[in-house]
Amino acid sequence: MRAIGYTKSLPIDDPQSLVELDLPKPEATGRDLLVEVKAVSVNPVDTKIRQRREDPDGKPQVLGWDASGVVVAIGPDVTGFKVGDDVFYAGAIDRPGTNSEYHLVDERIVGHKPASLDWAQAAALPLTSVTAWETLFDRLDVRKPVPGAANAILIIGGAGGVGSITIQLARQLTDLTVIATASRDETRGWVEALGAHHVIDHRKPLAAQVEALGLGAPGFVFSTTHTDEHIAEIGELLAPQGRLALIDDPKTLDIVPLKQKSISVHWELMYTRSLFQTADMGEQGVLLDEVARLVDAGTIRTTLAENFGRIDAANLRKAHERIESHTAKGKIVLEGF
């Protein structure tokens, strides 16, 4: 089986940072689906894992936590899927990734692919959709208003993969006023097209820009990147008893200044349910099916921005390089082995 992976954590400009592999084809057991991978997308987590995690015995590591494909075999305990089903999913961080011809995934975290999307368009959605959905509705609980606050959410990093789908879900499934950040003309246009009511520049002080909108202090902030750089501004602009969610990995984060306003802090990691086999693990499959329904109804759209071509080591290295440059908008996808 063809796969792309690495054995040592190397800079992405090193040809050995991602290489072609020949691995055994896995077999489906238990609740696993064996999926023939048709397309994958690349996320910041791919670059972080490549940079930080090596197997001590030199065992090849396969990245990739987004895929669309066809079920070609099922484990004996599978109940929700059959051979031939088209699926999309993000997988689990403690298992081999999707950058391989065939991939095993627990059925509980898999959704049926949106019928209206091709393989590449579908592969752009799973990880970011799960992250955005859990952040909005499980962590921030945006359907429960913050007393006295403006019914608004600030999304820091609106043009990124997570921000791109969060804007759409917040706009289409809630009555929140959506404020997104973007710093370039290209990314401003992108977030406006996705439905943001207002766009501000994250390279400038945030609180003054939010105040200038005349909405009042927002009840919610979702920070997707550079939270440590923005934390003081977040504390200033959020309403008392407001809620902050974040997904990035700051080396340190001083949240003591948030105490005076009783601001609650919620960290979102979409792998938590699969990593700990939580009792509600199946909710991820449910929400992916709902995302597919919303896509097919025309309510939300794919966030695919660039297709880097065939799934191979050279193209994946280019995709990692783009992610690490912090200039990507939406999602980068590769298609076909």
| Claim: this prediction has a pTM higher than 0.85 | yes
pLDDT in tens, 87-144: 999 999 999 999 999 999 999 999 999 999 999 999 999 999 999 999 999 999 999 9
pLDDT in tens, 286-305: 999 999 999 999 999 999 99
pLDDT in tens, 151-191: 999 999 999 999 999 999 999 999 999 999 999 999 999 99
**Which one, of 129, 139, 131, lies nearest residue 299 by Cα?**
129
Return d(Cα 299, Cα 111) in angstroms, integer.
Answer: 17
Q: Which residue spans within the chain are E strands per DSSP?
A: 2-6, 19-22, 32-42, 61-62, 67-74, 86-89, 102-106, 110-112, 150-156, 177-181, 198-200, 218-223, 243-246, 264-267, 304-307, 331-335
Residue 253 forms beta bridges with which residues?
none
Residue 276's pLDDT band, with cuts at 50, 70 and 90, is very high
- Sequence-distant (6+) residues with CB within 8 A of 33 are 71, 73, 74, 75, 78, 81, 87, 104, 105, 106, 107, 110
pLDDT in tens, 23-58: 999 999 999 999 999 999 999 999 999 999 999 888
- pLDDT for 56: 87
Return d(Cα 287, Cα 270) in angstroms, integer.
Answer: 12
Return d(Cα 159, Cα 326) in angstroms, integer.
Answer: 11
pLDDT (average), residues 222-234: 97
Which amino acid appears at position 155 of this protein? I
- pLDDT for 235: 98
- Helix residue ranges, H only, the chain: 44-52, 119-123, 126-133, 161-173, 185-194, 206-212, 227-237, 272-275, 283-296, 313-325
CB 70 within 8 A of CB 34: no
Residue 21 forms beta bridges with which residues?
3
CB 69 within 8 A of CB 101: no
pLDDT (average), residues 247-256: 95
Task: For CA atoms 177, 179, 185, 189, give the dihedral sign.
Answer: negative
Q: How many CB atoms lie within 10 A of CB 312?
A: 17
